[in-house]
Chains A and B, each alone.
Chain A
Amino acid sequence: MSTHSETNTHIGNSLSLKRIGLWVFILSETFLFGALISTRYYLQGVERPDHLNQPLGLVISIVLLMSSLAAYRGEVAVSYNDQKKFRINIISTIILASIFLVGVGWEWYEAFQYFPPSSAFGTIFFTMTGIHAFHVLTGMIALIIIVKMGSDGRFNSNSYWGVEGVVKYWHFVDVAWVFIYPTLYLVN
């Protein structure tokens, strides 16, 4: 039993297997975010309240995009076995992600005053940002595990699926935000 997960390797290419598995998962998550975004239009059309902090939304969007760039650089670095750059970039990703979460928290604080969860727009706003923030949080935990595994020397230029998978998930969280941001803040 103990060797069960290893015995699979001779059938097919295990890296492409993991990749396809992750892409299927991403496809699945796409439907979740699709449902979220459709719900916003179904319930509220393109209405948007006056007291929406659009500049703050722009700032945290850019922060999230920066974190994606850092994650990309981390993956490139580990693929060339540059452990130092890998570490620095993934840790910056985590820091940028925490800034993003602080930004979301700030928005929630403001939102409670103008459109609390018990109002129509608030319901959508808190659910969408909440579900997205949950994904950011899980991604951050995964990134922290990746940093730990990297410092144990478990990634090199030949074998870095852990980094690739987590970074791909992280980019997906970013893609989701690319749609959520205009849906919540900008559409009118």
Chain B
Amino acid sequence: MTQLKFLWPITRGLIGAIIGLLVGLGVGLSVSSLTGNPATEINISFSYVFALLGWLLGVGVWNSWIREWIGIKPSYFEAKNWQRYFGFSMDHKVIGVQYLVTFVILFLLGGFFALLMRIELADSGEGLLGPNYYNTIMSLHGIIMVAVAVAAIIGGLSNYVLPLMIGAEDVAFPRINALSFWIIPPVAILLILTPLFGGFDSGWTAYPPLSVTNADGQLLFLFAFLTFGLSSILGGLNFLTTTICLRAPGMTWGRLPIFVWSIVAASIISVTATQVVAFGLLMVILDRVAGMVFFDAGLGGKPLLYEHVFWFYSHPAVYIMILPAFGALLEMVSHFSRKPLFGYKLVVASFLSITALSFLVWAHHLFTSGMDEFLHIPFMAITELISVPTGVVFLSALGTIWRGKLWLVTPMLFVVGTVFNFLIGGLTGIFLADVATDIHLQDTYFVVAHFHYTMMGGEIFMLFGAIYYWFPKMTGRLYNETLGRLHFITMFLTYNALFITMFIVGTNGMNRRVWTYPENLQDGNILIGVFSLLLGLSFIPFVYNMVASWARGTVSGNNPWGATTLEWATDSPPPEENFAHPPKVDEGPYTYGQSGRKETQATPI
């Protein structure tokens, strides 16, 4: 029995969730009998909110947090080795791994949904899934991948390495950090439950009026997204405060590794813009549950309001996704080219200007929505302006590679692949930012291919590259280089074949979000289906590599890459307090090629 003690927090959380569910159902039933509004959605809402509270209290918030407020001695989760990952641990390294494993699993699940979609689309008529299931699966694929893109690098990798990189012992608020992870399981469960409630056919954007009138599954989606937003806000708050307050002595702002800067920029967006989308989702929930009329044009509402509010978050959100990827890219480019990062200050400036500009471009998603026409040109101009700082990031990457001594191990291969992919993603974006071309390309597979090139080709490629890069730090072991390269080559080739075909199908008139299409597009779609299957298979070496190397890979030593940043100055994996001797920083992060440079930028005090 004592061996199973580590499962106690999750069990307590589940018990809490069930109690909460019942209490919420009771409240919901009494409210709906009072108001006479349609009862199902009110019951779902109250049940979920109370179940979420019950889960969080049970899983650890009560024991390690609230007890302190009311004057009882708090009790913290304690476990060893792999059992640490199953409880309300406050160690940022444990939470980072929890995040990473969760989101890699969700990524594979989302990819599986994509394969299901391709099976339906292999036939221009009705296939395996049928319209309703196809729409639900398509929407699930969308929201799960968006969640992965938002949280995998920030929540997973930066949670693990950011405190190490700045020489801190932990993040600023360890309990909030744990909370932001334990909010995620209810989100995943809600999403997976949606098909039982009629699914949701709105896509991840959930535009009203459809999202106000469709099946109850939509409400589950809305709550899931709202809850996920909360986690994102808490995460951003933590990283901002950590970087402002917990830098090691000598770690000035100008000496921060570029990855930390990218997380700062992304965190600024996630603490601010996420509130706005949370409000947008809340409005849809209120329209559905409380009978309000935000989006009912007949009674004074405006459906366009949602699109503005939604994209006010969701466009900056793509920078929450891509900025950490840029950060990781430049980080690795410098280490694996054995050269200082080219234009460090310019890159920092461009990260910050991307952050600022990202709030001013949202309406380029609304060119065909009936928005006032005088807004088209300003939004087009600002959208194209944002490619300038993005170009600086490219310039920095290429300038660092230029005459460098490239070390083409797996992470660096992913870097080179990302530079290639994002170039295509960026160039095709011009056609979508231009009003004249966008009006024709809107809602075709051209758009789908474009954002997969930026999000998957840019961010997900970098996620995998960064996992390989920091794997030795997290586990103390080396991954298998041959399998890593196999993963990269298969993923890179099938990925490009798949999405270049999508561009072609898209310009030929293939609409997105449809389960049926004209027969003359069938060949292209079958091709896409075959490539996506191959792309899916390319992750098998990755999963095997990670699991097998973690269990019995070669011991890596503290700094297998000979990199200069601070996280490589400590043990692999780092001790609980991160640095046995608190480090003191006395030079910049990328000192390659300088005479008399130290092994890393730090000396122990």
Contacts and interface: CB of A to CB of B under 8 A. Distances in A.
A11 to B, nearest CB: 5
B241 A21 contact: yes
Interface stretch (A23-31, A64-72, A79-87, A96-104): A23-31
Interface size class of A (residues with CB under 8 A): 35 or more
Q: Which of B237, B241, B312 has the most CB of A within 10 A?
A: B241
Contacts of A95: none
Nearest to A29: B275
A4 B91 contact: yes
A43 B169 contact: no
Given A21-B241, A24-B271, A42-B305, A152 B71 contact: yes
Interface string A107-128: 0000000000111111100110
B294 A118 contact: no
A131 B247 CA distance: 36
A8 B237 contact: no
Interface in A19-59: 20-21, 24-25, 27-29, 31-32, 34-36, 39, 42-44
B300 A24 contact: no
Interface string B283-322: 1001000111110000111100100110010000000000
Contacts, number: 138
A12 B168 CA distance: 10
Q: Which of A17, A35, A39 has the most CB of B within 10 A?
A: A35
B23 interface: no
Nearest to A23: B241
Interface stretch (B108-116, B171-179, B411-419, B457-465): B171-179
A7 interface: yes
Nearest to A9: B169
Contacts of B77: 1
A62 interface: no
Interface string B224-260: 0000000001001110110011111000000000000
Given A1-B77, A8-B246, A25-B237, A123 B301 contact: yes
Contact of B168 (A11, A16, A35): A11
Contacts of B69: 145, 148-149
B467 interface: no
A158 interface: no
Contact of A27 (B168, B238, B271, B302): B271
Nearest to B70: A148
A146 to B, nearest CB: 9
B288 to A, nearest CB: 12
A20 B169 contact: no
Interface in A147-180: 148-149, 152, 154
A13 interface: yes
B300 A44 contact: yes
Given A20-B241, A28-B233, A42-B302, A35 B172 contact: no
Contacts of B172: 8, 17, 21
A35 B245 contact: no
Q: Which of A12, A13, A145, A154 has the most CB of B within 10 A?
A: A12
A188 interface: no
B126 interface: no
Contacts of B238: 21
B169 A8 contact: yes
Nearest to B94: A1
Q: Which of A4, A21, A43 has the most CB of B within 10 A?
A: A4
Interface string B552-590: 000000000000000000000000110000100000000
B523 interface: no
Contacts of A28: 233, 236-237, 271-272, 274-275
Contacts of A119: 293, 299-300
Contact of A43 (B237, B240, B272, B302): B302
Contacts of B76: 1-2, 4
Given A31-B272, A35-B309, A119-B300, A7 B169 contact: yes
Contacts of B305: 39, 42-43
Nearest to A151: B71
Given A21-B172, A21-B237, A118 B299 contact: yes
Contacts of B247: 12
7 contacts: A1-B89, A4-B90, A8-B172, A20-B245, A35-B276, A39-B309, A127-B282
| Top 6 closest pairs, chain A to chain B, by CB | A120-B300, A32-B275, A17-B245, A31-B275, A123-B292, A21-B241
Interface of B: 69-71, 76-78, 89-91, 168-170, 172-175, 233, 236-238, 240-241, 244-248, 271-276, 278-280, 282-283, 286, 290-294, 299-302, 305, 308-309, 312, 576-577, 582
